Amino acid sequence: MDKSIGKNILFIYLANFGSSFFTFLFWITSANLTDTEIIGTVATISSFAMILGVLSNLDIGIGMKRFLGKAVAENNFQYFKNLCSTAFVFTTISAIIILIIAFNPIIDILDIIGIDKEFIPIIAIIVIGNNLQHVIIGSLVSAKKSKSTTMPSIVASMSRFPILGILLFYLGTTTLAVAWSYSILYIVLTISLMIITLKYLNSIPGSYFEKSYDNLKIIIKGSFPRWIPQIIVLLGTQLGILIIFNVKGAEEAGLFYIPFAIMNVLFLIPHAINQVIHPIFSGMEDLDSQLIYLKKTLKIAFFGTIPFAAIMYFYSAPILSIFGKEFTKADETFSVLLIGFPVAIIADAVYFLLYARGNYKRVLILGLIANIPRIILYFILVPEMGGVGGAIAYVIGMYCQFLLTIFYLEKMKVKIEYKKYLIISVIPFAIGYLLEFFNIGIIGGIILILISFIIFLKIKLIVREDINDVCKIFERSKESSQLSKRIINILEKSHLL
């Protein structure tokens, strides 16, 4: 794996992990200082804002990356600058338009959902901020400057805590205090990333806006095929919270949201990989070269997440109790969500491969096949089963997408070693069941990790090349070679490699 790609994966992961880590601390703090109803209401506000954001942005942040990746590969940085500038302006205007439509007095959408109008400014901040971040981060990742996103993401996430303390002091333990504190990230992060991006674009000679209309058509052409399924995807992920909030109330929405958010944190490594690899795929014309990177990144994603998914599955109640004892009631919801995690890794990676290759029709169908059944099942299962029903609907959607993904790969005559990924998935869960049978406590999580990787090494699932690839992510070329040699030497002496 090219070291620059590895570094970009690392920095995107650190940005996402740092942001998610402090966001989780924020939710833990808020949950322990308030209650599940407040958490559920703020989660519903956030979900509604995310849906409005996707409706307005045409998924420009992803669609533009295909063309930005090609521009970087061809050293056409003037074109890169023009595409970014056009995307910034378009997403800002489209966000404002969708907010005007959403808050019109004729059809009171907020009243239908059950959200008070005092949250309108917060929703507007999240929609505009999230849209701009989507485009800015896509630009920086495509330019292989992912490092620039790390510190702003962490600082912006940390900024929530002093605001939370101040607002809880002045407003008391109210939903408004938590919601404003949650939204401050979008203000701080958007401003920080915009300054960094403008500084980079200023270093590129030439005008910001040339052939803007043509550039906008190109971006929309690349974004539109993903935008339609992405609307369905967002409805498939966020609509569950809205329905639970509307049908079962704020408390049940909070009990669903926290397990769902934890699972998304677990997905940080695959997400970081896909963000970086997508423009790299777009700069390649050869399918064989793309498949080499796909297989390497899938292995890293599986090794880096599946053992931790097993820990979360078997120790869901203690993990959820960190947010407060009342959240332990959501352990069944959490366990159901984790069942679909391994197939989601493969489905998401192949989705980005197909998108980078311009297979827009298949991208559209994959989005529809995953989320239309999911949305239908939300309306059927949530009224009867609450959060667990929402989780079941979500996981069924994952498997529908995975099955169609396999079908498409077979048509492309692509083999991605399903047996290997199945073994990587089964081993940690099998160990977890044994540890549970012998009633080993929370220390079993450490044992699970150690035994899993020992088995991976002994049966040659992890080889020298994998160790070299991972070391390239964390160290410079010379240091990575030395680190890799030291690790391999230790493993050989331990008879594990």
**How far, in Å, CA of 125 to CA of 223, rounded?**
23
Instruction: Please state the rounded mean pLDDT for residues 449-476.
Output: 77
Q: What does the mean pLDDT of the chain come to?
A: 82
Extract the tokens encoding 400.
């529908």
* Residue among 94, 219, 197 nearest 143 (CA): 197
Q: Give the pLDDT score at 191.
A: 92
Residue 217 pLDDT grade (very low, low, confident, very high; cuts 50, 70, 90): confident
pLDDT of residue 87: 85
For range 7-13, the mean pLDDT = 63
Residue 380 has what pLDDT? 92
**Averaged pLDDT for residues 233-262:** 85
Q: Is residue 219 one of the residues assigned to a domain? A: yes
Rounded mean pLDDT, 116-126: 92
Span 343-366, pLDDT tens digits: 888 888 888 788 777 777 888 888
Q: Is residue 5 scored above 60 in pLDDT? A: no
Within a domain: 454: no
Q: Does residue 362 fall inside a structural domain?
A: yes
Is the pLDDT at 496 greater than 80? The verdict is: no
Q: What is the DSSP string of 269-336?
A: HHHHHHHHHHHHHHT---HHHHHHHHHHHHHHHHHHHHHHHHHHHHTHHHHHHTT-GGGGGGHHHHHH
Work out the percent of the chain whose per-residue pLDDT is above 90.
Answer: 15
pLDDT at 184 over 90: yes
Q: What is the pLDDT of residue 283?
A: 60
Mean pLDDT of 201-214: 83
Q: What number is the average pLDDT over the span 117-140?
A: 88
Task: Give the pTM.
Answer: 0.76
- The pLDDT, as a whole number, for residue 481 is 67
Span 424-447, mean pLDDT?
86
Banded pLDDT at 419 (limits 50, 70, 90): confident
* Tally of domains in the chain: 1
At residue 53, the pLDDT reads: 86
Over residues 233-253, the mean pLDDT reads 85
> 277 or 296, which is more confident?
296
Phi, psi of 266 (to 5 degrees): -60, -30
Q: Is residue 70 part of a domain?
A: yes
> Which residue would you say has higher pLDDT here, 145 or 407?
407
Show the domain range for 202: 3-416
| Residue 459 forms part of a structural domain | no
Please report whether residue 434 resides in a domain: no
Q: Is the pLDDT of residue 35 over 90?
A: no
- Percent pLDDT > 70 in the chain is 90
pLDDT band per the 50, 70, 90 thresholds, residue 319: confident
Q: What's the pLDDT band for 121 if we cut at 50, 70, 90?
A: very high
Query: Mean of the pLDDT values across residues 129-150?
Result: 81
N-terminal to C-terminal alpha carbon distance within the chain = 21
* H-state helical runs in 204-249: 212-248
Q: How far apart are CA 383 and CA 282, in angstroms?
A: 43
- Cβ contact 388:329 at 8 Å: no
Q: How confident is the model at residue 228 (pLDDT cuts 50, 70, 90)?
A: confident
Average pLDDT estimate for 401-416: 87
Q: Which residues contact 104 (CB under 8 A, 6 or more apart)?
A: none
Confidence of residue 145 (pLDDT cuts 50, 70, 90): confident
